[in-house]
Amino acid sequence: MISRLCESRSLSLEEYAQLIDGRDAEAAALLAARADAARRQVYGNRVFIRGLIEISNICKNDCLYCGIRRSNAGCARYRLEKDDILSCCEQGYALGFRTFVMQGGEDGYFTDERMADIVRAIKARYPDCAVTLSLGERGYESFARLREAGADRYLLRHETASPAHYARLHPKEMSFERRMRCLQDLKRLGYQVGCGFMVGSPYQTTRDLAADLRFIEEFSPQMVGIGPFIPHAATPFAGRSAGSAELTCYLLSILRLMHPAVLLPATTALGTIDSAGRERGILAGANVVMPNLSPAAVRKKYALYDNKLSDGDESAQGVESLRRRMAAIGYEIVTDRGDHPDTPSTII
């Protein structure tokens, strides 16, 4: 099955499920070796860095897994203003970052007007940089206005491709169809789009994971973000077990073989669950790392899950140390935008 995945870049739902359930150390090593070869053909040994700016932990949604959900009264809320964000970019630029990712809860303060103004300001000061947004669900017109303002990429994990599983992770007022529609809208508007899911989230079955893989195969995004689910003590999923680094890495290898040119981060959650998670992710086929560029004073407040890393090598200021860690396993952190080779050129 691994050989067939390498050749046709595609498997059926049943086959993905079998590949997951039948895994052992030997299959994982073979997948990782093939994934590494596929990645080297497109990107060599280059690893791209993205500066992650967590602009607000205020959120109107109540996702059951997330530590910044609106019902978590114990969460100390914050929001960055335009000037704070620009100063993060200034520091990030000096450190060699050429992509800025603005991520946040669904905070009504960031209207299209305010957000477009921030995107325009960043693009005016740093025309050689890519701007990525990860601000949750918005309407088509809103995505269009932000794209017009200069946003290049949008990260919106689909979270799960199974409607029944989606309903167990989210409150009733949130909809699977709406999330999927947002992803289609983003693609139509010419964004480089990232989807993704958590590994080992509550109630997730092998079939759900196989459905995620089928969806990603078909949707063919430029980026895919996956990381282990990690419980947060102040959510309904407190005390649940976390997802594993092992399965996350196995899935990273499958994703690399399915889409050889996809931009695939070794995520913070992977680094949190395993101190060698970043390296393990890269060796399995990931080619992106996203250190934290948020101001030190708010970093700990963007607590999606317990013990989330934000200091040391996880911070943008730790990029030199990260560079050494990557070099030690044969990979080179580079300073460029790191666009997908099939970047849409349509500016609407």
**Residue ranges that bind ligand SAH, judged by CB under 6 A:** 65-66, 103, 105-106, 134, 136, 156-157, 159, 198, 227, 229-230, 232, 269, 304-305
The DSSP H or E segment spanning 298 is helix 296-299
In the complex with ligand SAH, the residue whose CB is nearer, 134 or 192, is 134
In the complex with ligand SAH, the residue whose CB is nearer, 103 or 132, is 103
- How open is the CA angle 78-57-161, to the nearest 5 degrees? 175
Q: How far is the CB of 328 from ligand SAH (least distance, A)?
A: 27
Q: How far is the CB of 55 from ligand SAH (least distance, A)?
A: 10
Instruction: Map residue 2 onto helix, strand or coil.
Output: helix
| Residue closest to 242 by CA, chosen among 264, 269, 265 | 269
Distances (CA, A) of 123 to 20, 99, 149, 315: 42, 11, 9, 23
Measured distance CA(279)–CA(282) in Å, rounded: 5
**Angle of helix 277-284 versus helix 25-43 axis, rounded to 10:** 70
In the complex with ligand SAH, the residue whose CB is nearer, 5 or 183, is 183
Q: How far is the CB of 2 from ligand SAH (least distance, A)?
A: 27
Q: How far is the CB of 82 from ligand SAH (least distance, A)?
A: 19
In the complex with ligand SAH, the residue whose CB is nearer, 33 or 234, is 234
In the complex with ligand SAH, the residue whose CB is nearer, 69 or 98, is 69
In the complex with ligand SAH, the residue whose CB is nearer, 48 or 65, is 65
Q: How far is the CB of 138 from ligand SAH (least distance, A)?
A: 10
In the complex with ligand SAH, the residue whose CB is nearer, 105 or 291, is 105
DSSP of 90-105: HHHHHHT--EEEEEE-
Q: How far is the CB of 191 from ligand SAH (least distance, A)?
A: 14
Measured distance CA(88)–CA(162) in Å, rounded: 37
**134: β partners:** 103
Q: How far is the CB of 124 from ligand SAH (least distance, A)?
A: 25
Give Cβ neighbours of residue 84 (< 8 Å, ≥ 6 apart): 295
DSSP letter at 292 equals: B
Residue 273 has phi, psi (to 5 degrees) of: -75, -25
List the structure tokens of 86: 């620009």
AA identity, residue 75: C
Q: How far is the CB of 260 from ligand SAH (least distance, A)?
A: 24
C-beta of residue 175 within 8 angstroms of C-beta of residue 185: no
C-beta of residue 294 within 8 angstroms of C-beta of residue 302: yes
Q: How far is the CB of 229 from ligand SAH (least distance, A)?
A: 5
How far from chain centre, in Å, is Cα 313?
18
AA identity, residue 275: S
In the complex with ligand SAH, the residue whose CB is nearer, 238 or 348, is 238
In the complex with ligand SAH, the residue whose CB is nearer, 16 or 65, is 65
